[in-house]
Amino acid sequence: MIQQLSVFIENTPGRVNALFQGLSEQGINVHAFTIADTKDFGIARLICDTPKKACTKLRDAGFRVSLTDVAAIYVPDRPGGLGKLLKLTDQGAFDIQYAYCFSMPQNNEPYAIDVMRTDNIKGLEDLCVNAGFSIVPAKEIYKLD
Amino acid sequence: MFFQKAIETMPREQIAQLQSHRLVHQARRCFENIPFYRDAFNEKGITPEDIHSIEDIQKLPFTTKQDLRRAYPFKMFGIDRDKVVRIHCSSGTTGIATTVGYTQRDLDDWADCFARVIYAIGGGRHDILQNCFGYGLFTGGLGAHYGGTRAGCVVLPVSVGNTDRQVRLMHDFGTNILCCTPSYALVIADRARAMGYDPVEDFDISMGIMGSEPWSENLRQQIQTSLGIKAADIYGLSEIMGPGVAGECIAQDGLHIAEDHFYAEIVDPKTLAPVPDGHYGELVITTLTKECSPLLRYRTRDITRIIPGQCLCGRTFRRIDRIKGRSDDMLIIRGVNVFPSQIEQVITEMPDVSPFYQIVLTNDGELDRIELQVEPNEDFAFDEVSEIEGLRDKLGAELKKNLGIKVQIRIVEPRTIQRTTGKSHRIIDKRGENL
Ligand SMILES: [Zn+2]
């Protein structure tokens, strides 16, 4: 289980840029970024190396930020890799609210990390481990701040 | 408890007769003694002979604050100067004061009106009344002072300020009735606790008469529990008379207008047409008995409504609701009257949004549109679009329920909205502009 930053962003020009400016000024490294948006606003979701610090700094800079627990699972970076995982979660009847991927090599092997949000993260992780997947430990993604 | 039972419980037909009789007389006094009214009658093409009963009140001209300013200092006095025994005035925000004079009879009537409110909340002879309204040209201090004296209370003329002493006197003398503004009542309660007292246990105080600023039911509850009292709302305005024009009774369900002295109308502030009982509008007051500064159909700018039906206390005088706001602050959106205070109320009851807001009014050619911009609170936890949308929809539904119109809500990022205490910055009216 890792922590993701969820940032409220108004749909006005320059706001995403302002967000990244703010992060880089604090020396925060972003591994993954995705945005869910509507006509008026969006929610930017970020995986970064120091989530707690990023949360505090962004709040100070005037952003509305939430920290959200998500499951992060290694998926072989080849065709069908993610498909196998999704089939599994389907069978397990997990309500996946959203998911996204980013790649990060492990032991020089091409691996993708699939981030998934569900209400039962522990259950999802157990299911994945039993099926032979491995869970990304927090220390692999970020400095434990 | 009644101070003047026969008057306060007079049958409605008799009240109408009394009001009719007094209005006829008052219209004549105004016409004959005050040039402003003579001109206004002429302009309307009426004479005092056209006024036969209270039903004819709508024939009379309105009076505004501006009219009073123009009459500065004594041009609105309706009686010989040697009958005047007191002058109060309000400092206008524009710098020009409005002057109101009193004859001895005017002062006696005022004292009666205030004394009725003391009795209505359960007070009376020998009660110690601590008067923390400011003494001076402002009508609050002397209004409560002479009202308390008239009711037979022991009046403590402490005036406002020096809260430590207020608390000590309240404790040592065993004050029963506290007269002050609602916000000062909270200050006193806080100070008392800081000084080590529990006002509920340690003080004899059981009644409050509070006014001169708008207060919500929430604030009343807070005052009542922190001081262990029952607090009555009292209404007055310096142009008409200080506190006592209307006041609450023990039922705390609206303020009884002193209808033997004042006739109240509620009108639409734009069209000036009367609105039915129960509907909000601008309070218009005619003084039926005042000798020195009589006013016909004075536009108070205060928004309230007549509460329909009879009060449980047995008083027959009609009741106005607590003052909801000033008509100057009122917005008319798609024909519906909306007050920023109503929107504020809804916002403060939603823990997930911050109390800062901005209202933007636009018109897309035919329809007014109202957009409310609010910020999510710092500790509002969200991760999904649906949570923000849920917050927006919940706020929208509450506003629709409270205001009766659809409000577009825009959840904005923090610091988008200016931090200001003034109301004016919170409303941006772009209607009439080319967008
Ligand atoms: Zn009553």
Residues A76 and A132 in one domain: yes
The pLDDT value recorded for residue B419 is 67
Q: CB–CB of A43 and B384 under 8 A? A: yes
CATH code of the domain covering residue A127: 3.30.70.260
Residues A47 and A58 in one domain: yes
The pLDDT value recorded for residue B91 is 65
Tokens at A63, concatenated: 């952003």
Q: What is the residue whose two structure tokens read 């006509």? A: A39
Distance CA A28, CA B394 (A): 35
Most A CBs within 10 A among B353, B393, B413, hence the mutation to make, goes to: B413
- Number of Cβ within a 10 Å radius of residue B421: 6
Beta bridge partners of B99: B89
Q: CB–CB of A43 and B383 under 8 A? A: yes
Distance CA A71, CA A66 (A): 16
Distances from the Cα of B58 to the Cα of B203, B260, B283, B287, angstroms: 50, 18, 14, 14
Q: Is the pLDDT of residue B434 over 70?
A: no
Distance CA B209, CA B191 (A): 19
Residues A37 and A51 in one domain: yes
Residues A10 and A62 in one domain: yes
Distance CA A2, CA A6 (A): 13
Q: Average model confidence (pLDDT) for chain B?
A: 92
Decide: residue A41, CB within 10 A, 0-12 exposed, 13-18 middle, 19+ buried: buried
Starting from the edge strand earliest in sequence, which strands make up the sheet with B427-429, in order? Answer: B408-411, B368-376, B353-363, B427-429
Q: Is the pLDDT of residue B425 over 70?
A: no
Smallest CA-to-CA distance from B414 within A27, A63, A78, A136 is with A63
- A4: which chain B residues are within 8 Å (Cβ-Cβ)? 383
The percentage of residues in chain A with a pLDDT greater than 70, rounded to a whole number, is 99
pLDDT band at B420 (very low <50, low <70, confident <90, very high): low
Report, as an integer, the average pLDDT of A128-145: 84
Residues B138, B143, B147: CA angle, nearest 5 degrees: 170
Query: Is B382 within 8 Å of chain A by CB?
Result: yes
Beta bridge partners of A112: A75, A103
Distance CA B223, CA B243 (A): 20
Residues A64 and A81 in one domain: no
Distance CA B316, CA B320 (A): 13
Residues A113 and A129 in one domain: yes
The pLDDT value recorded for residue A37 is 87
Full-model pTM: 0.69
Among B29-33, B266-270, B345-349, the range of highest mean pLDDT: B29-33
Query: Is B364 within 8 Å of chain A by CB?
Result: no
Distance CA B64, CA B200 (A): 44
Domain limit, last residue, from A50, A68, A86? A68
**Ion ligand 1, residue ranges at CB < 5 A:** B 249, 251, 311, 313, 315
- In-domain check, residue A84: yes
Residues A27 and A88 in one domain: no
The DSSP line for B222-255 is HHHHHHT-EEEEEEEETTTEEEEEEEE-TT-SSE
Report, as an integer, the average pLDDT of B254-278: 96
Q: CB–CB of A41 and B411 under 8 A? A: yes
The pLDDT value recorded for residue B92 is 56
DSSP B63: B
The pLDDT value recorded for residue B23 is 98
- One-letter amino acid for residue A42 of the chain: G
Report, as an integer, the average pLDDT of B373-394: 90
At B291 the three-state DSSP class reads: coil
Query: Is B415 within 8 Å of chain A by CB?
Result: yes
Q: CB–CB of A6 and B375 under 8 A? A: no
> Which residue among B383, B410, B416 sits closest to A66, beta carbon to beta carbon?
B383
Distances from the Cα of B361 to the Cα of A90, B183, B221, B334, angstroms: 48, 32, 34, 11
The pLDDT value recorded for residue B315 is 97
Residues A81 and A114 in one domain: yes
Residues 179-238 in B contacting A (C-alpha not used; CB under 8 Å): none
Query: Is A108 within 8 Å of chain B by CB?
Result: no
- Whether a cis peptide bond, with omega within 30° of 0, leads into B73 is yes
- A17: which chain B residues are within 8 Å (Cβ-Cβ)? none
Residues A84 and A127 in one domain: yes
Tell me, in angstroms, the distance from the centre of ligand 1 to residue B152's CA. Answer: 21
Q: In order of start, what are the domains of chain B with their CATH numbers?
A: 1-327 (3.40.50.12780), 331-429 (3.30.300.30)
Distance CA B316, CA B15 (A): 9
pLDDT band at B113 (very low <50, low <70, confident <90, very high): very high
Tell me, in angstroms, the distance from the centre of ligand 1 to residue B249's CA. Answer: 5
Beta bridge partners of A64: A8
> Which residue among A4, A10, A59 sits closest to B412, beta carbon to beta carbon?
A10
| Domain hosting residue A60, numbered range | 2-68
Decide: residue B220, CB within 10 A, 0-12 exposed, 13-18 middle, 19+ buried: buried
The pLDDT value recorded for residue B211 is 92
Q: Which of A70-74, A105-109, B159-163, B420-424 has the lowest mean pLDDT?
A: B420-424
Distance CA B395, CA B346 (A): 8
- A5: which chain B residues are within 8 Å (Cβ-Cβ)? none
Beta bridge partners of B266: B283
Domain limit, last residue, from A26, A47, A68? A68
The percentage of residues in chain B with a pLDDT greater than 90, rounded to a whole number, is 71
pLDDT band at B324 (very low <50, low <70, confident <90, very high): confident
Residues A82 and A63 in one domain: no
pLDDT band at B78 (very low <50, low <70, confident <90, very high): very high
Report, as an integer, the average pLDDT of B258-274: 96
- In-domain check, residue A35: yes
- One-letter amino acid for residue B191 of the chain: R
Query: Is B380 within 8 Å of chain A by CB?
Result: yes
CB A72 within 8 A of CB A141: yes
Q: CB–CB of B383 and A37 under 8 A? A: no
The pLDDT value recorded for residue B186 is 86
This model of the complex carries an ipTM of 0.82
Q: CB–CB of A40 and B411 under 8 A? A: yes
- B381: which chain A residues are within 8 Å (Cβ-Cβ)? 66
Residues A53 and A28 in one domain: yes
Residue in chain A closest to B385 (alpha carbons) equals A43
The pLDDT value recorded for residue B94 is 54
Smallest CA-to-CA distance from A49 within A63, A21, A30, A32 is with A30
Q: Is the pLDDT of residue B421 over 60?
A: no
pLDDT band at B97 (very low <50, low <70, confident <90, very high): confident
CATH code of the domain covering residue A59: 3.30.2130.10
B412 to chain A nearest CA, in Å? 6
Q: Is the pLDDT of residue B161 over 90?
A: no
- In-domain check, residue A90: yes
CB B234 within 8 A of CB B209: yes
Domain limit, last residue, from A68, A97, A114? A68
Decide: residue B424, CB within 10 A, 0-12 exposed, 13-18 middle, 19+ buried: exposed
- In-domain check, residue A145: no
Report, as an integer, the average pLDDT of B411-431: 72
CB B118 within 8 A of CB B145: no
Distance CA B411, CA B232 (A): 39
- In-domain check, residue A64: yes
- A117: which chain B residues are within 8 Å (Cβ-Cβ)? 383
Q: CB–CB of A8 and B413 under 8 A? A: yes
Tokens at A129, concatenated: 């481990």
pLDDT band at A135 (very low <50, low <70, confident <90, very high): very high
The pLDDT value recorded for residue B343 is 85
Q: Is the pLDDT of residue B74 over 70?
A: yes
pLDDT tens, position by position, A24-82: 998 999 999 999 988 889 999 999 999 999 999 998 888 999 999 999 999 887 788 78
Query: How many domains, in total, are found in chain A?
Result: 2
Distance CA B224, CA B182 (A): 10
Q: Is the pLDDT of residue B178 over 90?
A: yes
B413 to chain A nearest CA, in Å? 6
Q: Look at B329 and B372; give whichever has higher pLDDT.
A: B372
- In-domain check, residue A31: yes
Beta bridge partners of B103: B84
Residues A48 and A23 in one domain: yes
- A68: which chain B residues are within 8 Å (Cβ-Cβ)? 383
The pLDDT value recorded for residue B219 is 81
The pLDDT value recorded for residue B112 is 98
